[in-house]
Copies of this chain bind each other. A is one copy, B any other.
Amino acid sequence: MTQMIGVNLGNWLVLEKWMAPELFTGTDAEDEWYLTHGLDDVSRRERFTVHRDSWVTGRDFAYLAARGVRLLRLPVPYFVFGDVPPFLGCVDYLDRAFGWAARYGMRILLDLHTVPESQNGFDNGGVCGVCRFHQEPEHVEFALTVLERLAARYGARPELWGIEVLNEPISPDLWALLDVPKRYPAVDPARAAGSEGVPTEFLAGFYRDAYRRIRAVAPGARVVFHDGFRMREWFGMLDSGEFENFAVDTHMYVMMAGQRDLDGYLEYIARTFGDTLAEASQHFPVLVGEWCLDTKQAALAGMPDDERRTYNRTIATAHLAAFEPAVAWTYWSWRMHVDAPELDTWDFLRTVEAGYLPPLAG
């Protein structure tokens, strides 16, 4: 199987304030829930519409296709179908993306990136500090109907690469390690009360239900399960024979290694990323759905361009070697609106144009 390489279309239909702070102007919102509820009806419609019309267009697909990018991971919010007012639906933008993918010979991974009351409490989970999705059966049922509707609408499209059931459902361990309530403070403590990491027992059941309901309407669609920051817990479960045509998504951000010298990063990439992928790929197909070159080295900003290029290219080459066992990878992310050179590596176009990535074969 040829590895599919790609990028995420981040901050298009699921907003993250740090990626384009100007979209949060005039509010004190830190996440899309409070932004949406903090804007009047006219502002909300104008702001989201112009943003969505502009952030990703067919010309972006033209650029990516010419660079060997074949896969687009597309974060989708739970209100995609427009039935959760005052959120504005965005399914017509998914339609556009499929049209562009058809024109440029690319594939799309639909990624349910948020759910009601969140699966991780991150800003990119839709509402900071809240993680109670799994505690409310009505939320769970709603998410399942969204997946069903996505499967019904796109399941037979040749451009569909897969449907990812849920992005980054946080583990109890990671909830504690990151101290999510402190890192992403909840606006309303009462709303956040009872928030916790998503238990594996719940998640296994949810994945099973999601798989069955997607399969029922889209027999040929690949189903993708995020590892939920607990890869080994899926060994023996997802590969039990119950599931067919699926993959497991794991996110590999080198910045999580903390401050190291270059050799330290190369060691981390080879061991933590490479060994994990080699092991997991013995159990099921694995996708690296998010990664980026940022090592959070303050020294990089002051380096001469050539030196920074060599450094980042070395980090990139190590990633690509470690990712060899993966069936696909998608960089985070296509586009950023922050003019800080130390964040260039979060923007795929800037990353490519600066020569940080080796040429991609596709």
- A: which residues have CB within 8 A of B? 20, 22-23, 25, 40, 42-43, 46-47, 49-51, 53-55, 57-59, 62-63, 65-66, 99-100, 335-337, 339, 347, 349-350, 353-354
Contact = CB atoms under 8 A, between A and B. Distances in A.
Contacts of A47: 46, 50
A58 B339 contact: yes
A63 B355 CA distance: 11
B59 A335 contact: yes
A105 B99 CA distance: 37
Given A53-B337, A62-B349, A66-B354, 10 more contacts: A22-B50, A22-B53, A23-B50, A42-B43, A47-B50, A50-B50, A54-B55, A59-B347, A59-B349, A59-B353
Residue from A57, A59, A339 with most neighbouring chain B CB atoms (10 Å)? A59
7 contacts: A22-B53, A43-B46, A46-B47, A51-B54, A54-B337, A66-B354, A99-B339
A58 to B, nearest CB: 5
Nearest to A46: B46
A112 B281 CA distance: 59
A57 B20 CA distance: 11
Contacts of A100: 339
Residue from A47, A50, A336 with most neighbouring chain B CB atoms (10 Å)? A50
Contacts of A42: 40, 42-43, 46
Contacts of A58: 339
Contacts of A57: 337, 339
Contacts of A40: 42
Residue from A47, A62, A354 with most neighbouring chain B CB atoms (10 Å)? A62
Contacts of A339: 57-58, 99-100
Contacts of A99: 339
B54 A349 contact: no
Contacts of A354: 62, 66
A347 B51 CA distance: 20
Contacts of A54: 50-51, 54-55, 337
The 8 closest A-B CB pairs, nearest first, are A46-B46, A50-B50, A54-B54, A66-B353, A22-B53, A42-B42, A58-B339, A62-B353
Contact of A63 (B23, B25, B349): B349
Contacts of A65: 353
A100 B350 CA distance: 13
A2 to B, nearest CB: 22
Nearest to A23: B50
Contacts of A336: 59
Nearest to A338: B58
A20 B50 CA distance: 11
Nearest to A354: B62
A332 B99 CA distance: 26
A336 B65 CA distance: 18
